[in-house]
Chains A and B, each alone.
Chain A
């Protein structure tokens, strides 16, 4: 059974940093690209970042480029999102999601972790 479990969310002041983690099981982690998708309170879904199975290729939405860094540790079956220079508009539930084998859409999702950026 595929399982994705996010952690690391919380309340943080504007300008500060936070690192999210996602522990996965139930599939060969290194074989699949992974993603972070967020959802602001009461709003829709926004893809944030993606990383290839090897970790050698990364992609970001423009609004987080230069501030967020996606990475993975295939020996630990863990995905990360380092979030720096956080802004109020980064407040959202952050979902870890596995890419399908055939396209950049997400076939399995974690339950999400809430990040609140506020003074």
Chain B
């Protein structure tokens, strides 16, 4: 199975900060990479697919980039509703695998 490694595992930031989360795949996954947001007690929510395609309704402050094995999720100006845990997921092949998550906390 392809291993997905996110960094950092957690970070503290303030409202208005720019935040970047990195995801590395153990092999080339081209651009078959999705990002999810999960808040406590809630189901994950799809933010981005195909490395950089924002889902309908997702604010434009979220963006994704990368290719091959290295990917990033950026939040240009952190808002209060963005404090959550973020997961990357490869869907290049079965089994689709997730990173371990990055918890974004309030500084």
A residues sitting closer than 8 Å to B (CB atoms) are: 37, 44-47, 50, 59-62, 95, 100, 102-112
Contact = CB atoms under 8 A, between A and B. Distances in A.
A47 B95 contact: yes
A100 B32 CA distance: 12
B96 interface: yes
A44 B32 contact: no
If over half of B's interface residues share one DSSP class (helix, strand or loop), that class is named, otherwise mixed; here it is: loop
Interface residue tally on B, bucketed by range: 20 to 34
Interface of B: 1, 32, 34, 36, 38, 42-46, 49-50, 55, 87, 89, 91, 94-101
Contacts of B89: 45, 47, 105
B43 A50 contact: no
A59 B101 CA distance: 24
